[in-house]
Amino acid sequence: MVATRNGQNNLGGTIGCDVYEVRPHKSGDGVDLISDRFRYGPIWYAGPDAVRNAVAYAKYRSLSRSHRAKIRVLDDFGAVIQTH
């Protein structure tokens, strides 16, 4: 299963590494944390600390898996604005 949003697949999975994307939610309120590791789809975060909370959760999941994750924060146009 590969995570997609609006017919796009930008995760570009790499072997041995979890890849997460933080994208603006389509309603404009909050962000979605997207990964191909999520069984039921993206996780939605809202509020003033939505991006920080999504990145913190992705880092927490990667620490429990004994390898680091690649986390990309994207803007409304799909351009990468931060990496972790």
> Residue 8 domain-assigned?
no
Q: What is the pLDDT of residues 46-55, one digit of tens each?
A: 999 999 999 9
Mean pLDDT of the chain: 84
> Residue 77 domain-assigned?
yes
**Count of domains observed in the chain:** 1
SS3 (DSSP) at 1: coil
> Residue 49 domain-assigned?
yes
SS3 (DSSP) at 82: strand
> Residue 23 domain-assigned?
yes
> Residue 12 domain-assigned?
no
Q: What is the pLDDT of residues 68-78, one digit of tens each?
A: 789 999 999 99
> Residue 25 domain-assigned?
yes
| Residues spanned by the domain of 70 | 18-83
> Residue 32 domain-assigned?
yes
> Residue 66 domain-assigned?
yes
Convert 37-68 to b/e letters by CB count within 10 Å (16 or more is b): beeeebbebeeeebbebbbebbeebbeeeeee
| Global pTM exceeds 0.95 | no
